[in-house]
Chains A and B, each alone.
Chain A
């Protein structure tokens, strides 16, 4: 049976697992020449990773991870640290670096292949070092959810999950099924996961550095491609062992999963 997600976006059950890799790169929109990463995987990236595990076709799974029928919470488990890594590679721009010289107009097949003799170019990637996140996910799409659970529990995947780039293969472990419980607080709350909302919802703590970012959250198919239909702001802390402290009267609805307090979105 699949979880039921209430009007506040709180599911009655969920799957929890840890995903980690040696590096991670979640390319930020709005940056092109400079390749920078979000500190936390966008909700859409988590959707894509889970779709890879299940083996869902490209463009087929956006509705499964909609605003109302999916709930995801992300808890960073490692200190958030980035490193700029220079990479050397060939471009793949068809006009500049890729040649088509096998086949012609009359051929049944044309082969496009890369000219490997060109000058290598230096591209620096900003990557997360040793990223690890605990993901809690609930999906109302029963088939997808059960298939996902089967794969997670069996430790299998149709396409190998990775953290952003295919070379940053991810490992998934500690899979648990859980029942989120709402947490009531009178004044303030310590949340382990990233918290949707703005810095102004947080309570300053000594020694804790909050960061904030805005990344794609929900997407849809559109004219042969896709487009984002919702972006989320969320607050995180740089240190894995510190929490986001929020007042009890913010919009975020904290729930407890395992021994953590998280906010689904």
Chain B
């Protein structure tokens, strides 16, 4: 079909194949995609007229006429003509793309590249014969078959191997067709029938009928087309019965081994399913034959919704939660069709979920925007890529509300004080996904943030690395966030610290950007209302948000103001959290001093692993830092301001508590996270102060020179 399907086309397909309930399960969504695919490919579930396009006008139609009005079936004519477009509907052609041999319909085709007379009489005619012999086709003659089943028996006798009728037909074809010219052929059968004896045709007088007009032939075609859905991976017999379909909700023929686009249902592994009786699977999972066909048809659309990354695949299948109409189906199809699997936004992968979301929520049509806001849901499933179809996480009705909320919180955090050095925050950095949204345009920044939330980077940037074994907890967290389930702070701290350890290559202190990202992550969750287990907000207080630009005329004062602004968040209202952070700041500052001014080979922080910190360890390093702060000040000619390095930090630490860390009452994970956070800030407090220092003529050289006066 070159023409795009219209809402009316979708409505017709919905009327024919959709059960009418709003989607409520993965099976519903898969069937819905099947209906979309049917509408997009011409409107028929079983027949595939477009597959005959290559034969039209260039190819030939051979029509075998069989008279079935007398007691014995008789071939009365073989005709050949150019295949015209208008002949196609009556052929009822149903394509079978897998395997060799007969197609699903009585009408058969040869090669698109053409067959010679020999090929027609052997291959194509052979397919016709093979069709009548298919078990699934023959099943219409059985007890639970079709009242006109005898018609199939009659056809089978005409095409029986070595029969007189078949042999004369072969001869006839060889005589009539050009022997050395290859043409594309379609072969069909028309039947002379008496409506009085046949239930499955409309009419009053004896007449000629083509396959599309004969109900029993259609039924046989459908059974053949769905045979695999009843006997896949079953050696003997089939799993089929009569029951209420799990998707259709109506009683009829059901099959027990339907196509499973995500590969999560099969009867292939009895060892994994204790007590499985393969041929009884239809009782537990009754799928009507039409729906089994829809599952197969919807596969390509489902495949448009997968995002693969880090050994995992995440399906995010969009649907509308209300009643499905032609317009909604049309909007959904367009959104799915618009997905670019290679989509990128900046340097990040733009996953299908984000693409679909923006296609609908930013649609030119306000009605679709509203629909997206109210009814758009995603059925999300994550599993490992490969044969292991173990589902790690699943969410049946994720709306865009939570990812949008998280994205907006992320944008606010990134653009807020936490990443504004002049407001006491960390510096923004390129190439660190949570440290900069590469856009000044709010709409684009939102979109970038939404992409980070849906392409896993939001979680992957700060969580511990995972090997390929086992469930990837990061993906479980993603699904929880999509559904608005709050994350507990303490496991989160554990993840952060584990990542800190993962990033500490060869004993190096991990880059401060890593810790800055973790603060951004924590604050984003807190802003979005998705953090629990901490009694307080993470984001800075309003005072920090509105603080005027700080005085940059003096290095010490910059440091002090930045420290105060950094600490001005409810997280640090707690005394021990603040003290642990200040201890980290001081260790970071002293270590920087050792590194940059005194060229000490092993600065203080190199022996202190933040992720393994104990209260004792902290007490030791803090004591050492306080001693060094004094010692270096006395030792240094340039420290004329005070008798101590970084006095502002020491003051605030002592203001907070005179107890040493071994007496602190604080959760181990909180202690460690606060320490590494303070450390990351302290390590950069001098360099950032130099950058901000303004003596009227600042460049890097001058700033470095200012160091002597600052100390």
Contact = CB atoms under 8 A, between A and B. Distances in A.
Contact of B270 (A93, A198, A228, A238): A93
* 3 nearest CB pairs, A to B: A91-B271, A200-B322, A233-B24
The interface residues of chain B, by DSSP majority, are classed as loop
B390 A198 contact: no
Contacts of B37: none
Interface string B254-272: 0000000001111111111
Interface of B: 21-28, 241, 243-244, 246, 249, 263-276, 280, 283-286, 321-323, 375, 377, 383, 389-392, 394-397, 401-402, 470-471, 483-485, 529
Nearest to A95: B270
A227 B283 contact: yes
Given A32-B276, A210-B397, 6 more contacts: A30-B246, A33-B264, A200-B322, A209-B402, A214-B28, A226-B283
A34 B276 contact: no
A34 B263 CA distance: 10
A231 B265 contact: no
B599 to A, nearest CB: 52
B246 A32 contact: no
Contacts of B377: 199
Contacts of B246: 29-30, 214, 228, 231
A209 B483 contact: yes
Contacts of B249: 231
Nearest to A31: B264
A98 to B, nearest CB: 10
Contact of B25 (A84, A209, A214, A228): A214
B264 A92 contact: no
Interface in A193-252: 198-200, 204, 207, 209-214, 222, 225-231, 233, 238
B26 A30 contact: yes
A97 B269 CA distance: 12
A209 B529 CA distance: 13
A16 B470 CA distance: 40
Contact of B244 (A92, A214, A229): A229
B286 A228 contact: yes
Counting chain B CB atoms within 10 Å of each CB, which of A123, A210, A230, A231 scores highest? A231
Interface of A: 29-34, 36, 84, 86, 91-93, 95-97, 121, 123-124, 126, 198-200, 204, 207, 209-214, 222, 225-231, 233, 238
Nearest to A224: B280
A92 B275 contact: yes
B60 to A, nearest CB: 45
Nearest to B272: A33
Contacts of A200: 22, 321-323, 375
A31 B271 contact: no
Nearest to B405: A206
A209 to B, nearest CB: 5
A81 to B, nearest CB: 8
Nearest to B319: A199
Given A228-B244, A229-B244, A238-B483, A97 B25 contact: no
A13 to B, nearest CB: 30
B27 A209 contact: no
Contacts of B321: 198-200, 212
Contacts of A92: 274-275
Interface-central residue, B286, B402, B529, by most chain A CB under 10 Å = B286
A32 B265 contact: yes
A121 B271 contact: yes
Contact of A33 (B24, B244, B266): B266
Contact of A124 (B273, B275, B390, B401): B390
A213 B25 contact: yes
B339 to A, nearest CB: 23
Nearest to B267: A32
B383 to A, nearest CB: 8
A225 B280 CA distance: 9
Contact of A207 (B241, B397, B484): B484
Contacts of A225: 280, 283
Given A93-B276, A212-B24, A32 B264 contact: yes
24 contacts: A31-B265, A31-B391, A32-B264, A32-B269, A32-B276, A92-B275, A93-B276, A199-B22, A199-B321, A200-B322, A204-B401, A207-B484, A209-B402, A209-B485, A210-B397, A211-B395, A211-B396, A212-B396, A214-B246, A222-B243, A225-B283, A227-B286, A228-B286, A231-B246
